[in-house]
Amino acid sequence: MNSDFIIGVIGLGYVGFPLACLFADKYKVIGFDMSRERVDELNAGHDHTAEVTAECHAKALANGLKCTTEWEVLRACNVYIVAVPTPVDDQHHPDLTPLEKASRTVGEVISKGDIVIYESTVYPGATEDFCAPIIEEVSGLKFNSDFFMGYSPERINPGDKDHRVENIRKITSGSTPEIAETIDRLYNSVLLNGTFRASSIKVAEAAKIMENTQRDINIAFMNEMAVVMNAIGIGISEVIEAAGTKWNFLKFQPGLVGGHCIGVDPYYLIDKAKQVGIYPRLTAEARRINEAMGGYVAERIIKCMTLNGKAENNARILLLGFTFKENCPDIRNTKVVEIYKRLAPYTSYIDVLDPWVNPDMAQKEYGIKTVSSIDGLRYSSYDAVVHCVAHDCFRELDFNSLCAEDGGIVFDAKGTLPPPYDKYLNTNKLYDEYNNSNLLQKNEKKQKFNHSDGIGNPGTEKSACSSLAACGHDCLLG
């Protein structure tokens, strides 16, 4: 291994900065990002993504990691790792603008013999067919003669403290056999669980996009089953639990599919497939199903409120959680926004509480005001409290105290609330009892709130959500 490698990491977000810290353990590393605010916070020892521990961050800086917005500094590097976002546009077509800009930056600083490794998720062929020509054009150098390329797809899972970059197994690849060997050794020198060397860059690109597309399709199936089971009147959580007793059943859960990977990457595959004359129907339909789930959840909230005699017009609604997943600050492509937008035409009294979110970022990105603590809420009680994201901190909340005195509802969109709010997860028996007893009236005296997921089985209109016990709680998103 060449100890003289100087590594330049381009893009210091959820992927790039953990990589920069990892390689700084053994190599000189320069991190480049176009955001002055991001660079300043990293150089000051703060990482708002929380993907790198304070200890690792401090160690990397002590080892000489330097973050900068000045691209000229990258000239000192001989290995470049590109880790910029690969989003889609409003029509769900790949937006390669960040990748193009990063490739042009590399072209400005690259020298003969240097290696460029891409980690950004792309369609098969993008590294060699899209990025390489840009570097050639800007640098005047020839691909696979003057400079070389590789691809090692990122596998960052925001908020996952068990599968950090240092202890996951990574795919590597190179544009020649010799470069593939060099890149594989480079990553192996810092990874605890090694690598898998793909036979080509295109194979590595395809593997990454297949990983995420497979998960998207599996979740879409569960979402479709949740909608079907809800229409039938069966709780999806119970069905999954029962089906899960078979040894080869895959226990995927239904839910909102947002974030930077699963909700975006399949579009790159769809677009590339169309270019070669194939329409991937299953992949496209999975995307359609998952994209619609935010609206479906909002409709279930409105229905649950209606069945409880709570008019949605001008109702006070509290959304708990705004990130795309639990226990992380990542708001990229969060589908809670879809719930908010669907409810907004009915009422302007919607509050969003999320201690993980930077309110300034949420306001800038989505134009939605969020607060970080209960003290920041506009109201003391709400007609509907919607559990959107299963942050651990929400398990300590007293949902009863957040509901209106005249009977607000608790809508558990995740199916993860602790006792007493999960007490009536399986309520088919309670529906039967209600028809033959005064259970409803008894519970009205004991409970001031009504508990429902609203997306599973809300019960019949006769018993519908009029009390905690008489309300169905068969969660779609459990």
Q: How far is CA 228 from the centre of its chain?
A: 25
d(CA 11, CA 32): 6
* DSSP label at residue 376: G
- Tokens representing residue 223 in the block: 């979402």
Q: What residues contact residue 386 under an 8 Å CB cut-off, 6+ apart?
A: 301, 317, 318, 319, 320, 339, 411, 413
Q: Which of 349, 203, 237, 226 is nearest to 289 (CA)?
A: 226
Give the C-alpha distances (Å, rounded to integers) separating 278 from 66, 127, 291. Answer: 45, 21, 22
Q: What residues contact residue 337 under an 8 Å CB cut-off, 6+ apart?
A: 294, 366, 368
Q: Which of 388, 300, 381, 392 is nearest to 352 (CA)?
A: 388
Give the C-alpha distances (Å, rounded to integers) separating 217 from 54, 193, 297, 304. Answer: 36, 28, 19, 28
- Tokens representing residue 298 in the block: 């909002």
Q: Is 77 a catalytic residue?
A: no
Buried residues in 352-372 as b, exposed as e (16+ CB within 10 A):
bbbebbebeebeeebebebbe
- Tokens representing residue 265 in the block: 């990457």
Q: How far is CA 184 from the centre of its chain?
A: 28
- Tell me which of 21, 77, 131, 261 is the catalytic residue: 261
* Residue reference for tokens 């134009």: 367
Q: In what order do the strands lie in the sheet with 79-82?
A: 66-68, 28-32, 6-10, 79-82, 115-118, 148-151
Active site residues: 261
